[in-house]
Amino acid sequence: MKKLLYFLKDYKKESVLGPLFKLLEASFELIVPLVMAAIIDTGVASADGGYIMKMCLVLVLLAVIGLTCSITAQYFAAKAAVGFATGLRHALFAHIEKLSFTEMDTVGTSTLITRMTSDVNQVQNGVNLVLRLFLRSPFIVFGAMIMAFTIDVKAALIFVVTIPLLSVVVFGIMVLSIPLYKKVQNALDKVLGITRENLTGSRVIRAFNKEADEIAHFHESNETLTRVQLYVGKISALMNPLTYVIINGAIVVLVWTGAVRVENGYITQGEVVALVSYMSQILVELVKLANLIININKSIACGNRIARIFELEPSIVDACGRGEAGETDCARTTDKAAAVEFSHAGLIYAGAGEESLTDIHFSAARGETIGIIGGTGSGKSSVVNLIPRFYDATSGVVKVNGKDVKEWPLKALREKTGVVPQKAVLFKGTIRENMRWGNPDASDDAIMEALRTAQAEEFVRTKEGGLNYGIEQGGRNLSGGQRQRLTIARALVKKPEILIMDDSASALDFATDAKLRMAIRAMTDPAGSQMTVFIVSQRASSIRHADRIIVLDDGRVVGIGTHDALMETCDVYREIYDSQFKKEQ
């Protein structure tokens, strides 16, 4: 949490002025009982209406000054807290963007979203409360006791006994409550997790008629949360009755002692009222301080969770640095080298017990089309994810243009590579804005050419506004095939040297898929040569006409060759093909 205080560096003035004005407000609040004592002892005792009015105006003046100080303190505290949270969010988002898929898989998307939203909000509230109230409550507690001693030492000894008793009760309940509140938060996280899973997986749940089971699961988690909340609520509920018993007992003793002291002429009636007011102020501030500490503990816990994300170092590091000179230096390659080469590459995912890919060994020449096929979980996507360094090979080497991908600047490597992911992802905005992700300067003609190649031109022209047609988040207003064709076109706009299509035509019919492959084969990269294309598919028809087909089974290459050759030599490929096409009689 301490590391996060760095984001307050631009708000040092506000961080000082906020508490300072709050202490000024507290100082004026401590004067109020003395003014009341003067009104009773002088104004009421002598029936001096003019004096009473004058002192009432003093009370109004103190209220106005106190209000002004309070608003000023709130302004500075809010400015510092909001600015702190803004800087923290920007830094956290930038750090998350640097993390590789390995870290994101390990931490989890929902966790990262929680850290960016509710945790940052909780820390922001904690900073605001600390700047406004953390110094105020102890200041008033000790200030009230000191003011009581200035009135009468003997009566003030009651404060010396009462304050520790109140502190034991208030902070004892707080110490018991904090661990329980953590349990409440964990139970709440579980309920929220189940809710999220049910919302995202609602179709699957309905398809398998599991609504009753999920409702029962939710009720069980919700009941656990309710029980913990009720338990901590009962403990917290003890605070008010116990503190009021102590404070009222202290006030009874104070009034009785005050009466004796008044009768003996040591203090006045107004001073007794002032002492009672100070006692009430102490109670209110101690309860405030306890609640404040609970909130601060929540904020510290959230801050520590955020700090742990900052401590995550990306496993994929740009070895060449980020300067232009570094990129030129590192990107130097030979024209004779293969476009992509796998040399006995293996991959173990974080937390996995065994290799997902083992001894992957092949090369792809420039302009060659490579098909990759295999059963579910055979490692098809894992192979192509090693090329743009979404993951790093844990053994062996992967090369692009003769250079180890780890020696390429990430920006240069990924500019050479166009990836069409397995899941079509579109962003809210126009078709034109989505198409320009790979090439921000792409002209409308270049975009239309890519759409034509991706077999998307026809349906785009039918949309109202054409390239200005608005796409909703995730492409909800498009069909599955339309989304896939647009994601393919988006990758083609940048005209990459290496195009990776990761099972990205599964929603297309066979005729459209065939036209798409023919159009891509005719495309050239910026250097004027044909693109090297990797087509990952579970359809044998999609990769049948590739220059070479790589067959994977359980993370291993079990066959490499043309369709005809594999039909003769590879049992796995023949089984896949025969399952999709009837055998000739």
Which string of DSSP letters, residue by residue, matches 367-430? T-EEEEEESTTSSHHHHHHTTTTSS--SEEEEEETTEEGGGS-HHHHHHHEEEE-SS----SEE
Same-domain status, 494 and 544: yes
| 585 in any annotated domain | no
| 482 in any annotated domain | yes
Domain hosting residue 416, numbered range: 324-580
Backbone φ/ψ region at 376: left (φ over 0), alpha (ψ -120 to 50), beta:
beta
What pLDDT is attached to residue 529?
67
Same-domain status, 336 and 256: no
Q: pLDDT tens digits for 429-481?
A: 999 999 998 888 889 899 999 998 888 888 888 888 888 999 998 888 888 88
Q: Which residues pair with 559 in a beta bridge?
A: 551
- Residue ending a domain, among 311, 338, 365, is 311
What would the mean pLDDT of 69-87 be, rounded to a whole number? 93
CA dihedral of 469, 471, 475, 476, whole degrees rounded to 10:
-100
What pLDDT is attached to residue 585?
38
Judged against a pLDDT cut of 90, whether residue 222 lies above it is answered with yes
Nearest to 414 by CA among 392, 388, 390, 434: 388
Question: What CATH number has the domain bearing residue 560?
Answer: 3.40.50.300
Same-domain status, 261 and 362: no
Q: Which residues pair with 536 in a beta bridge?
A: 372, 502
| 439 in any annotated domain | yes
Same-domain status, 295 and 362: no
- Residue ending a domain, among 311, 338, 371, is 311
What pLDDT is attached to residue 88?
93
- Location of structure tokens 């369709």: 563
| 319 in any annotated domain | no
The pair of three-digit structure tokens given for residue 377, joined into one six-digit string: 């979980």
What would the mean pLDDT of 263-286 be, rounded to a whole number? 84
| 435 in any annotated domain | yes
Q: Are 66 and 29 in contact (CB under 8 A)?
A: yes
Q: Are 203 and 251 in contact (CB under 8 A)?
A: no
pLDDT band at 50 (very low <50, low <70, confident <90, very high): confident
Q: In the chain, how many domains are there? A: 2
Same-domain status, 282 and 330: no
- Residue ending a domain, among 311, 342, 359, is 311
What would the mean pLDDT of 474-501 be, rounded to a whole number? 88
What pLDDT is attached to residue 527?
59
Nearest to 191 by CA among 214, 222, 150: 222
Same-domain status, 194 and 168: yes
Same-domain status, 105 and 237: yes
Q: Are 339 and 498 in contact (CB under 8 A)?
A: yes
**Exposed e or buried b per residue across 153-183, where buried means at least 16 C-beta atoms within 10 angstroms of its C-beta:** eebbebbeebbeebeebbeebbeebeebbee
Q: pLDDT tens digits for 92-106?
A: 999 998 888 888 888
Same-domain status, 43 and 138: yes
What would the mean pLDDT of 249-265 be, rounded to a whole number? 86
Supply the DSSP string of 206-271, one letter for each residue. Answer: HHTT-HHHHHHHHHHHHHHHHHHHHHHHHHHHTHHHHHHHHHHHHHHHHHHHHHHHHHTTSS-HHH
The pair of three-digit structure tokens given for residue 177, joined into one six-digit string: 């409550």
What pLDDT is attached to residue 175?
82
| 342 in any annotated domain | yes
CA distances from 195 to 100, 216, 327 (A): 27, 12, 46
Q: What percent of the chain clears pLDDT 90, i.e. is strictly above it?
A: 27
Q: pLDDT tens digits for 197-206?
A: 898 889 899 9
Same-domain status, 362 and 264: no
Q: pLDDT tens digits for 336-353?
A: 678 899 999 999 988 777
Q: Residue 323: what residue type?
A: G
What would the mean pLDDT of 244-272 be, rounded to a whole number? 85
| 316 in any annotated domain | no
Judged against a pLDDT cut of 70, whether residue 154 lies above it is answered with yes
Q: What pTM value is reported for the model?
A: 0.76
Question: What CATH number has the domain bearing residue 220?
Answer: 1.20.1560.10
Same-domain status, 369 and 251: no
Judged against a pLDDT cut of 60, whether residue 425 lies above it is answered with yes
Please state, rounded to an integer, the average pLDDT across all residues of the chain.
86
Same-domain status, 300 and 328: no
| 199 in any annotated domain | yes
Same-domain status, 63 and 36: yes
What distance in Å separates the CA atoms of residue 22 and residue 73, rounded to the nearest whole number?
A: 6
